[in-house]
Structure 1
Amino acid sequence: MRHNPVFDLTDPDEIRRLIGENPWATIVSPTSNGLVASHYPVLVDDTRDELAIVSHVGRPDERLHEWGEHEVLVIIQGPHGYISPGWYDPSPAVPTWNFVTAHLYGVPEMLPTDENLRVLEQLVDHFEDPMPEPRRMRGTLENSAYADRISAGTVGFRLPVTRFTAKLKMSQNRDEATQRRIVSELEGSGPYASPELAREVRLANPEVFGA
């Protein structure tokens, strides 16, 4: 990503929040056969003090990615959207795009079968918890047997993040009046309205919108 200190995101806790709220990740590997990309949900590994993520891939993705042989790039994309120059003042302006994204780097560690099952259960629970009647991977004997069969086709992994680069571009370089107009438009009913993006603009500019 282009270096711009105004928009640099360096707080690991904010990266954890970004992953927690936007768990659908793109995994890119520079393999001996060229670039390979896959898409999987990921979770922050809360058992580690350092930043790490866990998930699984479906076989044979672990071989296609040459898992464990080299560093991989995991891309996390948060809320993003078009910002019209009509939301600025009347002087000449060009449109832009607000976004938050993180690039995580590390070498994946493949998990043993029992830990893979635990991570799969965590993934299911994470997404089922908000449901009115959550379905658990091992909620019944029938489910448990089915989960054991399905999990055999997956490979769990942990990615200790050795480094990351992240950008949070949420109109921090605009004056207060412009920031307020942008939030108003994003919270409105226009073609580029986005409450999620408006929330991020608010969070990124606490001196204007409060902590």
Structure 2
Amino acid sequence: MRQNPSFVLGDIPELRRLIADNPWVTLVSNTENGLVASHYAVVLDPERDDLTILGHVGRPDEAILELGSHDLLVIVQGPHGYISPGWYDAKPAVPTWNFVVAHLTGVPEILGDEENFRVLGHLVEHFEERMPTPRLMEGTPANAEYAARISSGTVGFRLTPTSVVAKRKLSQNRPAEIVDRIIDELENGSEYPNPALAAEMRRARR
């Protein structure tokens, strides 16, 4: 991804928030057989305060990704959306796309079976905790038995990125009154409503 100094996202807490809020990522691997992409949920490593992520893949994906043998590119896609030229005063004008995205690159560490099982449990707990009655992986003896059986079909990994390229293109190059208009269209307009993108724009201004 080409970087633009005006749109660099380099703040670690903001990057951690981006990952936490957008856990469904794309894993890209340049293998002997060409480029391969898979899609999985990840979480931040709770024992670290950097951008280390934890995740898992199915065993077939471990093989086709050649996981652990070379760099893996993890693409984290935040809110994004169409921005009409009718929302700003530039003449002539063309449409654009606002977005937040991060590319994390590194060689993933393959986890042993016990640690993989713990990571799977943490992943389930992370997403279930907001449910009225969380269904945890080891919440009942039956659940624990089932989880232990199917976990053997997964491979856990930890990735501490050695390269991070992150971009937050949210109309920072526009005058404040134009940014206000774009935010209003995203929040209240009927054609391309996108409250999540509007919230990111408000955050970027702060």
TM-score by length of 1: 0.95
**Distance in structure 2 (CA, Å) of the matches to 1:148 and 1:158:** 20
Aligned position for 1:144? 144
CA distance in 1, matches of 2:89, 2:180: 12
Structure 2 matches for 1:7-18, cutoff 5 A? 7-18=7-18
| Aligned counterpart, 1:51 | 51
4+ residue runs over 4 A deviation? none
- The 1-side partners of 2:171 and 2:7 are apart by 9
Task: Tell me the percent identity.
Answer: 61
In structure 2, stretches of 5+ residues that fail to align are none
In 2, Cα distance between equivalents of 1:197 and 1:144: 39
**Partner residue, 1:73:** 73
> What do the CA deviations read for 1:12-33 (whole angstroms, capped 9, x no partner)?
2211110000000000001111
SS at match of 1:173: coil
Counterpart residue type for residue 121 of structure 1: G
**Alignment-derived partner of residue 209 in structure 1:** none
- Is this contact kept in 1: 2:3–2:165, CA < 8 A? no
Distance 1:95 1:49 in 2: 38
Number of the residue aligned with 1:19:
19
Q: Which amino acid aligns with 1:115?
A: E
User: Which residue number in structure 2 is paired with residue 93 of structure 1?
Assistant: 93
Partner Cα distance (2:95, 2:111) in 1: 45
Matches within 5 A, 1:153-164: 153-164=153-164
Match for residue 199 of structure 1?
A: 199
Taking the aligned partners of 1:200 and 1:3, their CA distance within structure 2 comes to 19
| Contiguous gaps of at least 5 residues in structure 1 | 207-211
Question: Deviation per CA, 1:112-169, whole angstroms, max 9, x where unpaired?
Answer: 1111111101111111111111111111000000000110100000011111101000
Task: Name the aligned partner's letter for residue 23 of structure 2.
Answer: P
Of stretches 82-91 and 135-144 in structure 1, the one that deviates more from structure 2 is 82-91
